[in-house]
Structure 1
Amino acid sequence: MIKAADNKSSYMKDLWIGSILGGCLYNTQEDLNTIHGLRVSGRPRKETLIKSCFWELPSMGEVKINTDGESKGNLGKGGVGYIIKNCEGAVLWAGAKGLGTTTSFLAKCQVIIQGVKGPASNGWLVAWVEADSVAAVKAFQSGVIPWSLQGE
């Protein structure tokens, strides 16, 4: 279909290729007529989901550690990142690193460990850790973290 656009004007060629490669439509009558005229089958775009959230500051004398770790595939290249803020919202520390081949669970556990090391080594005694993994949080609450991370 892309070769069929070769003999079109540059404007029509761009429109043709954009339609083939999946640009988003606003579903106006003009958009739909043009796509119909080009005989390109349409597909609905995914609905935008907007969620409300609130980031809460830690209390006076506390630091808050927001963490995330992930792997591409559930044994694949992984990485972690965290940010530490004080009760005024000022960034005290941030870190990120690649992990090589790992699982999502191990990445999420490792980032909690990495995030807590900063406050511990700087004398910040009360740290509030936020993580998006229920399994990782439960592992730390129960004291059953993966053996491969116990020396961290």
Structure 2
Amino acid sequence: MAFKGASAAMTAPSLWHSIMVKSKLWNDSWHAPYPFSNPKKQVTERFMADIGWAPPTEGWVMVNTDGASNGNPGPAGAGGVVRGPLGNWLGGFVAGIGTATAVLAELWAIYYGLELTWNLGHRMVKLASDSQLAIQLIQERHDPIHPYATLLNLIRRKIGQDWLVSLTHTYCEGNRVADWLSKHSLVYPYGMHELADPPIGVIPLLQDDVMGVTFERRVVATSSSTI
């Protein structure tokens, strides 16, 4: 109606019918022998693994970020930390972002993490987030009307600056410092607040990471096999 005029509007019954027909077609496609004509099937394996913080290699820095939303959507914040190969604190941040969903909080955390790391002068960066969805949204291309399009473009432009940036997924057991900071951010006002030194409450987690403490977790590995 906004772009084509009132004559383009669908009546309630026709809109309902269109939704039902298209939903059925979509559902049927997933039950076809080879969805999307893919002759391979996904093989999923689950196994136990020891998960902990992974330090960067020499010359690189590791940025861990996390977002928190108390309600999804609800009051939200973000946090992150920049560390060297020995686990040394190079900088950190907390950010109040108002009311947001969990994935939006994760995206803001990644953006602020990149912004802080660039401002600190580091140019070989590995950024880890425990949100696989946030990473996928950044790496894939979306319609300009996607609700997060503006922020996604900001992140992509930031990554495209003159530096090396690698995005990677980590489990929450390897992201405990950023998780603590993201929850701590909920008491801060709107905007990003840099932390030159770690808050007292997060120091035990930093020490665990330096010592290589790990936690057992059941993880999923997916591979393709030809039918």
TM-score range with shorter-chain normalisation?
0.5 to 0.7
Structure 1: runs of 5+ lacking an equivalent: 1-50
Q: Alpha-carbon deviations, 1:53-112, whole Å to 9, x = none?
A: 221210111110111102111211001110110112100011002111111111000100
Give the count of matched residue pairs: 102
Measure, in 2, the Cα distance between the counterparts of 1:132 and 1:151: 20
Superposition pairs of residues 126-141 of structure 1, within 5 angstroms: 126-141=124-139
Measure, in 2, the Cα distance between the counterparts of 1:73 and 1:115: 23
SS at match of 2:135: helix
Find out whether 1:124 has 2:126 as its counterpart.
Answer: no
Superposition pairs of residues 16-35 of structure 1, within 5 angstroms: none
Structure 1 counterpart of 2:107, which letter?
C
Measure, in 2, the Cα distance between the counterparts of 1:80 and 1:141: 20
Structure 2: runs of 5+ lacking an equivalent: 1-48, 156-227
Give the fraction of aligned pairs with identical amino acids, expressed as a percent: 29
Superposition pairs of residues 1-150 of structure 1, within 5 angstroms: 52-142=50-140, 144=142, 146-149=148-151, 150=153
Q: Which has the higher contact order (CA 8 A, sep 6+)?
A: 2
- Structure 1 or 2: more strand by fraction: 2
Q: Alpha-carbon deviations, 1:114-152, whole Å to 9, x = none?
A: 001122123211111111111101112225582242447
Cα RMSD, aligned residues only: 2.0
Measure, in 1, the Cα distance between the counterparts of 2:129 and 2:149: 20
Measure, in 2, the Cα distance between the counterparts of 1:80 and 1:66: 11
